[in-house]
C-alpha cells in the first residue's frame, strides 16, 4: 500500500483528427509514507503539462481513533507575544521539534505579531477570542473534532458594577476596548498609551468559559505592566478607571465571566472544547462545497485567485486530513482557489472543511523536516500551528548516507535523483529539507527552486542522514546602472 504509484485519475485524452494519433496527458505521481501509527503522509505531484498542473499537494491522513494520536493547537514560542523581531511568532518546524510532534501544519491568520486572529484555545484555556463570525477547527474534550463558529461575550463585575471585556491578548482596536492579558501572553503586557490596569488574582492566570473570581487591584496610568504568575491584567481607559476607582478597595473581588455563543446550529457547546484554531472561510459543509467568504468577511478575490493554501478536513468517521497546496511556483505548483481546495478535501473523503492561513505561511512538517515548498523561499514565522502527536516508531540507529547528489553548486532548474544507503523499508522514510531553495519529493527527486544554501535530509525512525547543497541562479537579474552624476 505504501509505495510510489501512479494515480489513475480520469485524465484528458486528446485526439488529433488530421492524423488519428492519440496523446495521453502525463500522469500524476502519488507517494505514501508512514510517519507513525495512524499517521500517513500523502504526496500528489501533477507536472506542468498535466491538465491540473503544475500542482503539489501534501496531505497528513490522521486516524484519530488510534490510541495516543491527536491534533492539538500550539502557540508559536509557547506564548502569544514576545520581545523578539517576530513579536512571538515562530517557524512551524521549530515549534514541532520542541513539542516532539510527529507532524505539523501552520494554522491561523495573524497580524504579523504573535496573536492569532480569532478563537485560539489550548487545554480549555481561552487565549484569543473569536471574531468576524469566522470558523474554527476544534478538538473536543471527548477526543472528537468539529468545525464551528462562535461569538464572544465577557464581563468583569466588581460589586454592582459590570464592564465589558472586549478581547484577549491583543492590541485594543479603540480606546473604549478593555483587553485582558493572561499568563499565556508573556511576561509583560504590550505598551499602550493612556491606559490604566486592573490586576486580578486568578488561578493559573488563565481564563476559560464560565466564571472565575479573584481579588482585584487598580494601577494608575502607566504604559506597560508585568503579568505576575496566577494573574490576569486588564487594560482599561480613562472612563472605566473613573467608574471603578471609587469602588475598588483592599480586599475587593472581581468576577470575570466569558461566554462563547455558538453561531451554527450543530456547534459544540463551549464547555466541550479543549483546543481551537481559527481559519477563514469555511469551505466544505456536509460533503458540499460551501465557501463562506462573505459571511466570514473575506474578499471575493481571496477565494477565487489561486494561492498556496492550508486546510483541514473531517471525514464522517471522525478521522482528519490536514492539507497544504503549494503555489506561486511556476514549475512546481500553481496554488488553488478555495473551491478547488474544497474539491481536494472531498477527494480525500472529507465532508467538513476549513481554510487556514496560506500564502507564504503554508508549511507541512514531518519528522521535523519541511516536506512542501514554502512560496517565500523559506518558512515564514507564524502565530500558531496544528500539531499531530502520537507514538514515535522505534527504529535502527545505524548510520547511512545520501547518494546521487551532483557536485554543487547546482543551478535553478537542475534535477537530481537521490537515494540513501540505509536499506530500510522505503515506506518509512521521509525526504525533506530546511525549507530553503530546494524541493525534494518522496521519491528522492531534488529540484532546485532558488539560489542559496539548503539542507536536505532523509529521516527514518531512529536515524537521519543529512546533506548540504549550494545553489545558484545561472541568469541573475541585472541591476540597472545608475546614471552618471551630474
Query: What does each C-alpha distance from 460 to 327, 397, 400, 427 come to in angstroms?
Result: 28, 9, 10, 9
Residue 18 pLDDT exceeds 50: no
pLDDT of residue 478: 82
**480 secondary structure, DSSP code:** P
Bridge partner residues of 211 (DSSP)? 257
pTM of the predicted protein model: 0.93
Say whether 370 sits in a helix, a strand or coil: strand
pLDDT of residue 486: 62
Residue 86's region, left for phi above 0, alpha for psi from -120 to 50, else beta, is alpha
The ranges assigned to domains in the chain are 30-112+279-393, 119-278, 395-486
% of the chain surpassing 70 pLDDT: 94
Round the average pLDDT of the chain to a whole number and report it.
Answer: 93
Confidence of residue 162 (pLDDT cuts 50, 70, 90): very high
Class of domain 119-278: mainly beta
Q: Cα separation of 285 and 148, whole Å?
A: 10
Determine the average pLDDT of the residues in 111-128.
97
> pLDDT tens digits for 226-249?
999 999 999 999 999 999 999 999
pLDDT of residue 137: 99
pLDDT of residue 435: 95
Confidence of residue 194 (pLDDT cuts 50, 70, 90): very high
> pLDDT tens digits for 244-261?
999 999 999 999 999 999
> pLDDT tens digits for 450-468?
999 999 999 999 999 999 9
Confidence of residue 483 (pLDDT cuts 50, 70, 90): confident
Enclosing H/E stretch for 345: helix 338-347
Asked if residue 324 lies in contact with residue 309, where contact means CB atoms within 8 angstroms, the answer is yes
- Provide the CATH number for the domain formed by 395-486 in this structure: 2.60.40.1080
pLDDT of residue 1: 35
Bridge partner residues of 112 (DSSP)? none
Amino acid at each position: 500500500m505504501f509505495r510510489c504509484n501512479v494515480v489513475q485519475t480520469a485524465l484528458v485524452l486528446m485526439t488529433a483528427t488530421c492524423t488519428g494519433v492519440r496523446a495521453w496527458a502525463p500522469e500524476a505521481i502519488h507517494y505514501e509514507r508512514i510517519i507513525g501509527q495512524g499517521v500517513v503522509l500523502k504526496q500528489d505531484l501533477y507536472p506542468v503539462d498535466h491538465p491540473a498542473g503544475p500542482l503539489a499537494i501534501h496531505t497528513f491522513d490522521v486516524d484519530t481513533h488510534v490510541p495516543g494520536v491527536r491534533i492539538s493547537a500550539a502557540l508559536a514560542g509557547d506564548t502569544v507575544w514576545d520581545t523578539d523581531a517576530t513579536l512571538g511568532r515562530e517557524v512551524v518546524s521549530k515549534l514541532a521539534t520542541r513539542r516532539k510532534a510527529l507532524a505539523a501544519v501552520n494554522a491561523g491568520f495573524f497580524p504579523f505579531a504573535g496573536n492569532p486572529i480569532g478563537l485560539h484555545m489550548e487545554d480549555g484555556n481561552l487565549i484569543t477570542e473569536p471574531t468576524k463570525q469566522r470558523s474554527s477547527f476544534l478538538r473536543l474534550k471527548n477526543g472528537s473534532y468539529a468545525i464551528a463558529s462562535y461569538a464572544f461575550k465577557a464581563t468583569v463585575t466588581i460589586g454592582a458594577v459590570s464592564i465589558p471585556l472586549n478581547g484577549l491578548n491583543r492590541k485594543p482596536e479603540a480606546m473604549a476596548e478593555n483587553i485582558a492579558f493572561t499568563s499565556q501572553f508573556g511576561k509583560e503586557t504590550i505598551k499602550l498609551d493612556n491606559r490604566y490596569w486592573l490586576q486580578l488574582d486568578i488561578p493559573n492566570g488563565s481564563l476559560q468559559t464560565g466564571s472565575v473570581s479573584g481579588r482585584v487591584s487598580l494601577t494608575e496610568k502607566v504604559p506597560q505592566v508585568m503579568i505576575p504568575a496566577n494573574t490576569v491584567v486588564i487594560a482599561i481607559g480613562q472612563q472605566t478607571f473613573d467608574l471603578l476607582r471609587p469602588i475598588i478597595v483592599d480586599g475587593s473581588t472581581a468576577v470575570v465571566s466569558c461566554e462563547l455563543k455558538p453561531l451554527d446550529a450543530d456547534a459544540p457547546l463551549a464547555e466541550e472544547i479543549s483546543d481551537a484554531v481559527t481559519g477563514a472561510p469555511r469551505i466544505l459543509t456536509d460533503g458540499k462545497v460551501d465557501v463562506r467568504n462573505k459571511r466570514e468577511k473575506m474578499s471575493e478575490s481571496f477565494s477565487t485567485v489561486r494561492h498556496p493554501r492550508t486546510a483541514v478536513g473531517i471525514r464522517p468517521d471522525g478521522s482528519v486530513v490536514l492539507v497544504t497546496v503549494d503555489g506561486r511556483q511556476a514549475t512546481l505548483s500553481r496554488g488553488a482557489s478555495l473551491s478547488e481546495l474544497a474539491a481536494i478535501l472531498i477527494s480525500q473523503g472529507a465532508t467538513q472543511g476549513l481554510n487556514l492561513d496560506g500564502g507564504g505561511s503554508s508549511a507541512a512538517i514531518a519528522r521535523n523536516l519541511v516536506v512542501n515548498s514554502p512560496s517565500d523561499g523559506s518558512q515564514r514565522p507564524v502565530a500558531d500551528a496544528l500539531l499531530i502527536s502520537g507514538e514515535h516508531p522505534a527504529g535502527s540507529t545505524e548510520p547511512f548516507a545520501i547518494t546521487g547528489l551532483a557536485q554543487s553548486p547546482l543551478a535553478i532548474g537542475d534535477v537530481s535523483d537521490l537515494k540513501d544507503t540505509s536499506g530500510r523499508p522505503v515506506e518509512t522514510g521521509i525526504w525533506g529539507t530546511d525549507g530553503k531553495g530546494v524541493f525534494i519529493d518522496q521519491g528522492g527527486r531534488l529540484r532546485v527552486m532558488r539560489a542559496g544554501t539548503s539542507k536536505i535530509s532523509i529521516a527514518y525512525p531512529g536515524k537521519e542522514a543529512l546533506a548540504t547543497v549550494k545553489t545558484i541562479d545561472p541568469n541573475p537579474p541585472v541591476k540597472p546602472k545608475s546614471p552618471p552624476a551630474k
